[in-house]
Amino acid sequence: MKTNAKKSAEFPKRLKEGNAEVTIYRQSNPSRRFNTATGKWEATGRIFHEYVLAYYQGVRQVADKKTGQLKTLPRFVRQKFGNLADAEREARFILTKLANGESEVLKLSGLDRAAYVHSMQKLREWQPDADLYSAVTDFVAAVKRLSDATSLKECVNFYLSRHPAGLPRKTVREVLDEMLAVKANAGVSEPYAKELRLRLGQFADSFGVPISTVSSKQIQEWLTNRDVSGRTQNNYRRLISTLFKFAIRRGYLPKDHDELSGVEKIRDSGGEIEVFTPDELRKLFSACLTPVQERGKWRDRETMIPYLAIAAFCGLRSAEIARLDWSEIHLTGPEHFIEVKAAKAKTASRRTVPIPDNCASWLAPFASETGSVCPFERPDKQCFQYLGPAAKVEWKHNALRHSFISCRLAIIKNVHQVSLEAGNSPQLVFAHYRQLVTETQATDWFGIVPPKDWKNILPMPTESALSQQSEVPGSAASAPVLNAFLSSEPVV
C-alpha cells in the first residue's frame, strides 16, 4: 500500500520550460469483458493504468451562453498513452515545440511526423547541414514553373543529358575558334574557311553563351529572323550543324546531342531554272571579242573567255572556276578533261569533267602549264556588271551551268553520268534539268566555236584607228569576223 501511495504521489507530473507547461496524469481503470451469455459487460477484477498528456495549445472561439457573443479561450488538448515512457517522450517533444513557439508542429499526425523524419533522413544523406524548409521552398518554386504534364525529374534528366558531369563549358565562340584552327591545319580551301568565319562568326556573335545551352528553338528563331533566302537559311543551318558535330567530337557536347534535328529545313526550289539560248551565248562571246572604251581606254574581255567557255561547255560552278589552275586543265593526250580537286569542289569530292571539242578550241589560245585560269575573284560579278550589258543580254543567275546540264542531258540522255560531271545528285538533275532544251538546241549549243584564226584576225586596235573607224558609219575592224561568228559561219 505504501508503494502504491508513493506512485500515486508522483502524479500528476508537470514538465516546464519557460512559460510552457505539459502535465502527465495517471488514470486507473477496471478491466471489463463482454459476457456473451448474459449480453452484459462484467468486471474482471483487474486494473489497468493509462497516462494522459494535457496541455494548452493555441486558442478557440466559443459562444457565451448568456450573451451569445464569441469569446476566445485557450485550447485544451489531451492525449492518452498505454505506458509512461511513451507519454514522457511525447511530453518532452511537445514542451520543446511550445517553448519555441512552433505550436503548428504539434498538429502533425503520426503519419505526418513519420514523413517528416524520413524526409530529414533523406535530406541529411544528401547534405548534412541542409535545411528542410529551404529544400521544400526551392522544390515548390521550380515545380510551379512547369506544366502539369512535366515532372521535375524529367527536367533534371533533360538537363543532365545536355550537361553530363565533366563536360567542359565552352562558349560558341571558343568552339568556333578551335574548329577554324583545326580546319586550317587540315588544309580546307580558303573560300570554305572564309564562309565558316563569316557565317558562323555571325552566329557566335549572337550566342555568347556555352554551346551546350543553345536550343533548337533559339537556332530556329535566329535563322528565321535573318533577312535571307530559304537556300541561304539552309546553308547557315548546314554550317551550324558542322559546328555542333565538331563540338561533339571534341567532347564539349554529349554524343547523343541532336538539337539541329529540331531546326526545320526550308523547302527551297531555288526558283525557276533559267538557261541561255545558243544565240545569247554567241552574243556573250562576241562581247568578249569586241573592244570597248572604258574610262578613257580601249579594253577587251578576252580574259573572260576561259571562264565563259568552261562554265558553258563543262558546267563548273563559278567558285570552282575561280579556284581552277591551268595545270588542272588537260588539253593534250587522247582525252581532254578538267580535274576538279576535292579541295576546290563545292561538294569536297574530286571529279573529272570532259572537255568538248568546241570548248578545247576556245581554251587553246590561253592554255598554260600553270597559273590561274580566271583572273577575277568574282567572275560571276564581272559577267553581271559588264559582260551581260555589253552583249545586251540579260544576265541570269547560274544560267551557264544550268544550260550545260540541260544540253548535256538532252544529248547523252544519261542522268547518272551528267550528275557525276556536274557534281550534283541524280535526283536533282532528273527533277530540274530534264526537257528544258531540245536535242537540236543542245547540238547547236555545243557547236559554238570561235571564229577561224580569231586570235590573229582580232588584234587590239589602236585608239587612233578606232577613232577613225567610228567616224565612218557602220564600219568596225572586227565586223567581218564577228558577223560571221554570230551567224555561225566560219571566217575564211
* Residue at 186 is within a domain: yes
Answer yes or no: do 254 and 324 share one domain.
no
Answer yes or no: do 183 and 86 share one domain.
no
What's the burial of 158, exposed, middle or buried (CB within 10 Å: 0-12/13-18/19+)?
Answer: exposed
All cell numbers assigned to 80: 492518452
Answer yes or no: do 315 and 199 share one domain.
no
The predicted structure's pLDDT at residue 278: 94
Whether 311 contacts 275, CB under 8 Å: no
* Residue at 151 is within a domain: no
Displacement of CA 157 from its chain's centroid (Å): 21
Answer yes or no: do 96 and 6 share one domain.
yes
The predicted structure's pLDDT at residue 318: 87
Which CB contacts under 8 angstroms, 24+ apart, belong to 369-375? 369/326, 369/327, 370/325, 370/326, 370/327, 371/325, 371/326, 372/324, 372/325, 372/326, 373/306, 373/307, 373/310, 373/321, 373/324, 373/325, 373/326, 373/329, 374/306, 374/307, 374/321, 374/322, 374/324, 375/303
Task: State the alpha helices, DSSP H only, in 250-277.
Answer: none
| Domain final residue, candidates 262, 292, 308 | 262
Answer yes or no: do 198 and 302 share one domain.
no
Q: Look up the CATH number of the domain holding residue 475.
A: 1.10.443
Residue 104 sits at φ, ψ, to 5 deg, of -65, -30
Query: pLDDT 10s digit of each residue in the chain, 492 long?
Result: 444 554 555 888 888 887 778 899 998 888 888 888 888 888 887 888 889 988 887 767 788 888 878 777 777 888 888 888 888 888 888 888 777 766 555 556 667 767 877 888 888 888 887 777 788 888 888 888 888 888 888 888 877 766 666 678 899 999 999 999 999 898 887 778 888 999 999 999 999 999 988 999 999 999 988 888 788 888 899 999 999 999 999 988 888 888 888 888 887 555 577 899 999 999 999 988 887 776 777 777 788 899 999 999 999 988 888 889 999 999 988 889 999 887 766 666 788 999 999 999 999 999 999 999 988 878 888 888 888 888 899 988 889 999 999 999 899 999 899 888 888 888 888 877 877 789 999 999 999 999 877 665 333 344 444 444 344 333 333 444 444 455 444 333
Answer yes or no: do 294 and 425 share one domain.
yes
The predicted structure's pLDDT at residue 478: 43
Distances (CA, A) of 63 to 71, 73, 119, 452: 6, 10, 41, 125
All cell numbers assigned to 290: 569586241
Helix (H, G, I), strand (E, B) or coil at 124: helix
Residue 98 sits at φ, ψ, to 5 deg, of -65, -40
Helix (H, G, I), strand (E, B) or coil at 77: strand
The predicted structure's pLDDT at residue 379: 82
* Residue at 35 is within a domain: yes
Task: Tally helices (H) and strands (E) across the chain.
Answer: 23, 9
The predicted structure's pLDDT at residue 180: 94
Displacement of CA 243 from its chain's centroid (Å): 9
* Residue at 137 is within a domain: no
Answer yes or no: do 282 and 231 share one domain.
no
- 55 DSSP β-pair partners: 77
* Residue at 164 is within a domain: no
* Residue at 378 is within a domain: yes
Answer yes or no: do 383 and 478 share one domain.
yes
What total of structural domains would you count in the chain? 3
What's the burial of 289, exposed, middle or buried (CB within 10 Å: 0-12/13-18/19+)?
Answer: buried
The predicted structure's pLDDT at residue 347: 65
* Residue at 371 is within a domain: yes
d(CA 415, CA 389) in angstroms, rounded, equals 34
Distances (CA, A) of 479 to 98, 457, 476: 116, 11, 5
Answer yes or no: do 254 and 293 share one domain.
no
Q: Is the pTM of this model over 0.75?
A: no
Listed in order, strand segments (DSSP E) in 224-371 are: 292-294, 297-299, 329-330, 337-340, 351-354
* Residue at 112 is within a domain: no
Residue 188 carries which DSSP code? -
The predicted structure's pLDDT at residue 165: 64
Answer yes or no: do 345 and 424 share one domain.
yes
Domain that holds residue 33: 2-107
